[in-house]
């Protein structure tokens, strides 16, 4: 009888866990990037780029030659941004290209994101600096998450932004990194600690490879086309059950601070994909699951 009771409780626990984890989106997955109903064409103008969208103020027709970009990037050409300055460090310097025709794909990606999300030079974009999603009550009285980067009188607004660009490298080994291996800019989570972490959560980030080194770009952490859902396939990049999981802020992995579960660690788990030194597995705890 006791064994039967334990088995029943185990099954109920697994059912409850699965129902908490896997969620289908209840609204359009493009979310905020529907751009007030304009949809895909707000960012990717099918004809004539930003000029076709009436958004180009620079007169530079080359903006649309990269992914048919339909927002004005001219104000950002040649600008220098310095991100990730902490504890008095010098930060990570990135000089944006002179035009979209000469920039590398990774740096052009920064240009396209900042053409809407920069609060310093590209103020003519449609952004209102208001978060689209409903924030959980656990966020307290903080009722807005800034969506404009570099806002302020000068480039110093970027110093408090996560490192991004060709100099924002991700490495293996050492006190704060995973026991992984890197080959031509591709990270493999194959060490005892990192592989255990992948089983407990996963490796969802999409790092770029530059000069055979893994680097962080905007789309490393954000999937600009999926705001509220992320697909998980068990056994490939994660040990979580296969399915669709709730996320927020276009984050690439399960990331749901609105879950309402006290002690849920899924949002911390997402950051730990790169910040391995702070993970459970790097500190002797291999069996702590991802909670939802």
pLDDT (tens digit, 9 = 90+) per residue, 86-101? 656 678 999 998 888 7
Question: Has residue 137 got a pLDDT over 80?
Answer: no
* Sequence-ordered alpha helix ranges (H) in the chain: 2-21, 49-52, 105-117, 192-200, 218-221, 266-272
Question: Has residue 51 got a pLDDT over 70?
Answer: yes
Instruction: Supply the pLDDT for residue 126.
Output: 64
Instruction: Supply the pLDDT for residue 13.
Output: 42
Instruction: Supply the pLDDT for residue 152.
Output: 62
Report the pLDDT averaged over residues 194-204: 96
CA distance 57 to 284: 55
Report the pLDDT averaged over residues 44-59: 76
Question: Has residue 264 got a pLDDT over 70?
Answer: yes
CA distance 99 to 77: 6
Location of structure tokens 């702590």? 288
Instruction: Supply the pLDDT for residue 207.
Output: 96
Least confident of 6-15, 169-178, 184-193, 283-292: 6-15
Question: Has residue 11 got a pLDDT over 70?
Answer: no
Report the pLDDT averaged over residues 151-157: 60
Q: Are 93 and 82 in contact (CB under 8 A)?
A: yes
- Beta strands 165-170 and 213-216 are antiparallel
Instruction: Supply the pLDDT for residue 165.
Output: 93
Report the pLDDT averaged over residues 51-71: 75
Q: Are 280 and 255 in contact (CB under 8 A)?
A: no
* pLDDT tens digits, 158-174: 888 899 999 999 999 98
Residues 6+ positions from 15 with CB-CB distance below 8 Å: none
* Residue 26: how many other CB atoms lie within 10 Å: 8
Q: pLDDT-derived band of residue 12, with 50, 70 and 90 as boundaries?
A: very low
Residue 167 C-beta-side C-alpha neighbours within 13 Å? 13
Best CA proximity match to 268, nearest among 222, 201, 209, 205? 201
Q: Are 135 and 258 in contact (CB under 8 A)?
A: yes
CA distance 251 to 235: 20
CA distance 130 to 142: 12
Instruction: Supply the pLDDT for residue 102.
Output: 77
Task: Please report which helix (H) or strand (E) contains residue 187, including its range.
Answer: strand 186-188
Instruction: Supply the pLDDT for residue 156.
Output: 60
The domain ranges of the chain are: 27-163, 166-292
pTM (2 d.p.): 0.86
Instruction: Supply the pLDDT for residue 58.
Output: 66
């Amino acid at each position: 009888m006791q064994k039967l009771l334990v088995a029943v409780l185990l099954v109920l626990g697994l059912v409850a866990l699965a129902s908490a984890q896997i969620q289908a989106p209840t609204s359009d997955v493009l979310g905020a990037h529907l751009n007030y109903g304009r949809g895909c064409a707000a960012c990717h103008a099918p004809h004539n780029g930003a000029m076709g969208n009436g958004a180009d103020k620079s007169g530079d027709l080359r903006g649309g030659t990269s992914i048919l970009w339909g927002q004005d990037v001219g104000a950002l050409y040649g600008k220098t941004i310095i991100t990730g300055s902490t504890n008095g460090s010098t930060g990570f310097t990135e000089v944006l290209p002179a035009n979209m025709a000469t920039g590398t794909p990774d740096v052009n990606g920064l240009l396209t994101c900042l053409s809407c999300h920069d609060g310093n030079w590209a103020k003519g974009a449609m952004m209102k600096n208001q978060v689209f999603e409903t924030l959980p009550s656990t966020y307290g009285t903080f009722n807005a998450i800034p969506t404009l980067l570099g806002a302020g009188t000068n480039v110093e607004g970027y110093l408090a932004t996560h490192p991004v660009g060709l100099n924002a490298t991700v490495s293996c080994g050492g006190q704060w990194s995973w026991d992984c291996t890197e080959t031509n800019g591709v990270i493999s989570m194959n060490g005892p600690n990192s592989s255990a972490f992948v089983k407990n959560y996963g490796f969802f980030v999409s790092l770029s490879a530059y000069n055979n080194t893994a680097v962080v770009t905007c789309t490393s952490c954000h999937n600009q086309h999926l705001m509220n859902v992320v697909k998980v396939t068990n056994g490939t990049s994660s040990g979580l059950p296969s399915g669709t999981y709730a996320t927020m802020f276009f984050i690439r992995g399960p990331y749901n601070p609105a879950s309402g579960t006290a002690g849920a660690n899924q949002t911390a788990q997402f950051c730990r994909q790169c910040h391995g030194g702070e993970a459970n597995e790097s500190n002797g705890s291999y069996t702590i699951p991802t909670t939802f």
